[in-house]
Chains A and B, each alone.
Chain A
Amino acid sequence: MMRAATRAIARPAARTAAAKGVPFTASPVLAVQLPVWRSRLVLFALFAAFCALVGRALWLQGISTEFLQKQGESRYARTLELPATRGKITDRNGQVLASSLPVKAIWAIPEDVLQTPPEKLAALAGLLGMSDADLRGKLDSDRSFVYLKRQVEQETADKIAKLGIDGIDTRREYKRYYPEAEVMAHVVGFTSVEDVGQDGMELAQQKTLAGSIGSRRVIKDRMGHIVEDIEAVREPHDGKDLVLSIDSKIQYIAYTKLKEAVEKNQAKAGAIVVLDVKTGEVLALANLPSYDPNNRAVLSGAQLRNRVMTDTFEPGSTLKPFTVALALDTHRVTPETTFQTAPGQMYIGPALIHDAEARGVLSVAEIIKYSSNIGTSKIALSMPAQEMWDMFTDVGFGQQPKFGFPGAVAGRVRPYKSWRPIEQATMSYGQGIAVSLIQLARAYMIFARDGDEIPLSFQRVDTPPIGQRVISEKTAREVRAMLETVASPGGTAPKAQVPGYRVGGKTGTAYKVVNGGYALPHRYIASFCGFAPVSDPRLIIAVMVDEPTGPVHFGGDVAAPVFADVAANALRSMNVTPDSSVTNIIIPAGGAAEGM
């Protein structure tokens, strides 16, 4: 009010003053004395406004800056996941046994997808390889995210993208391919749909095979191009490649020969393992029945079972050489010491044990050659139980294996304090004791390697390990010579002979144990464990055929031929110099009858 009034008065006055030629500075209007508080008020108002501005700036720049920057960043910065590939698994020569390739998982937002025309949905169902009803079933869900199909190959995913259906998207994932399929299944194992190892080496080496995914924060422009990194990139680390000790050629030989034998003898199952004597590497490990790890839609427990590692059986006569080796090593007998085995049966306490054939007086070497239960029992009973138990334990029976394979079992050797004489006798020829095939093969190292044992490995070994002595070199050589006679025309396994190479080994035929007792009618496990060439052993091969139901069931007839076939082919593929001039082998019509 005041101001308006002043102005109303001043205006005509100024006009009159100018008109009268009064200079501006002398204008009487300026001379008006306004109260000081008015200018102070204005000054204060301006200052307050300025303070508000400073305060706001401080607030934005100083205090809430982090929050605001985050908000800004979230509008143009993106975190990208950098995928890491699972390591490859190769055999000892670099041939790929398992490799991951990217594929797509197709997922959908059901609400959006259901609005597409039916013919497009039908096309989608066709590409996904499912029926229209199945697809609709999957889409009929309240969730906002549904996997339609996982592990779809890139080509199919591209075709699906071309359909241009709203609400369908893909996610990158990996699929594991196994080119060797069922031949290598039990060694390599397989991974789950999430690329996590489930069995075999895939499981055992999960930590090194799996990579670690990385991430990076980037700024993207309007077009979606990456403009720059805003944080240090967390590099992805691909999984390490794994080189196995397996030789895929020997593995193929072992698998096919075992398969032939299992089919020929109408057996329930079979297993084979091939070891390198010098390095302790597992060159081949095969099981039947097997499965295709690429297609695991229908899998039975029998197919998944790794009989070499996880099944124990009563080894039978294949254990006799250990009893004999112990007796030789402790100088209780020499290869020439004789034992009376007539009349082919013997009472130990109330229990009766018998040989397949009564043979009279046999030397220790002949006891092995003809696989005499009575002879072995007599040798065993001359020794304290503890020494036998120590021997079994030293070669690894009843001990948890250390080679890092999932599900490997320890087998069973009861404490020696509870052994009765009859048990000590039967154990000497491999009954009442449970071992796995790989334990048996490893135990034969002491004969093949001049008396020492080395650890087994599923990964390639470049420097041969140092052995641990179990028996003397002399004993090992003596037993080796005896085992060679087993695989000779007069022994129990003439069919184990290999043209061009001297071989040695021992047959085993054991009754199958079911629910703690022998199955009736008797079911058998035929086995053969041997090495070649005898002059300087390179390979140990152990074969086991479960429940052969053909006309023959002895280890020498069922398992020994597999040994011979595999040894012949494997030695040739390894370029091992032949140590025998015999190139045509003689298999006598009858051969020696075999003990259990």
Chain B
Amino acid sequence: MSGRLTFLLAAALILCALSLVKAQYQSRRLFIELERAQAQAGQLDLEWSQLQLDQSRLGLHARIDALARRDLNMVPVTPARTQYLTVDGQ
């Protein structure tokens, strides 16, 4: 009787030990995955900053002004050539 109990407890102990090993392994694996995801988030953040900066650079008023005048032959609008409409349609 006591021998069987010992055997059962030993088996349970081994199972526990193995599951501990597995849990530890899992946790490390997940941790590395988390690390990787965080690094990726950082990288994307960086890219976003870069793109924002590019957008600012490309959207510079000086650049748009020059392009509109030179390439598109546009001129600034003046009130003399503007038809103003009011809400009540006068």
Contacts and interface: CB of A to CB of B under 8 A. Distances in A.
A139 to B, nearest CB: 32
Contacts of A225: 32
A226 B31 contact: yes
B71 to A, nearest CB: 18
Interface residues of B, number: 25
A499 B32 contact: no
Contacts of B55: 96
Contacts of B35: 226
B79 to A, nearest CB: 3
B56 A183 contact: no
B62 interface: yes
Interface residues of A, number: 31
Contact of A88 (B49, B60, B80): B49
Contacts of B62: 183, 252, 256
Contact of A499 (B31, B57, B60, B79): B79
Given A101-B46, A249-B61, A252-B61, A569 B53 contact: no
B56 A179 contact: yes
A95 B59 contact: yes
A228 B61 contact: no
Contacts of B22: none
Interface string B25-49: 0011001100100000000001001
Contact of A179 (B46, B60, B76, B78): B60
A253 B49 CA distance: 26
A455 interface: no
Nearest to B28: A227
Given A228-B27, A228-B28, A99 B61 contact: no
A416 interface: no
A102 interface: yes
A376 B73 CA distance: 50
Contacts, number: 63
B72 interface: no
Nearest to A83: B42
A42 to B, nearest CB: 36
Contacts of B65: 252, 256
B19 interface: no
B54 to A, nearest CB: 9
Interface in A220-273: 225-228, 248-249, 252-253, 256
A317 B52 CA distance: 45
Interface in A493-519: 499-500
Contacts of B78: 499, 583
A584 B28 contact: no
Contacts of B28: 227-228
B79 A99 contact: no
Given A96-B52, A96-B53, A177-B53, A572 B77 contact: yes
A180 interface: yes
A85 B53 CA distance: 15
B80 A499 contact: yes
A583 B79 contact: yes
B44 to A, nearest CB: 13
B56 A227 contact: no
Interface in A161-214: 177, 179-180, 183
In the A-B complex, the 4 residue pairs with the closest CB atoms: A500-B79, A252-B61, A179-B56, A96-B56
9 contacts: A95-B59, A100-B49, A102-B46, A183-B61, A226-B35, A499-B78, A499-B80, A500-B79, A569-B76
Given A99-B49, A249-B61, A252-B61, 19 more contacts: A85-B49, A88-B49, A96-B53, A96-B55, A96-B56, A100-B49, A101-B46, A102-B46, A177-B53, A179-B53, A180-B60, A227-B28, A252-B60, A252-B62, A499-B80, A568-B79, A578-B79, A583-B79, A583-B82
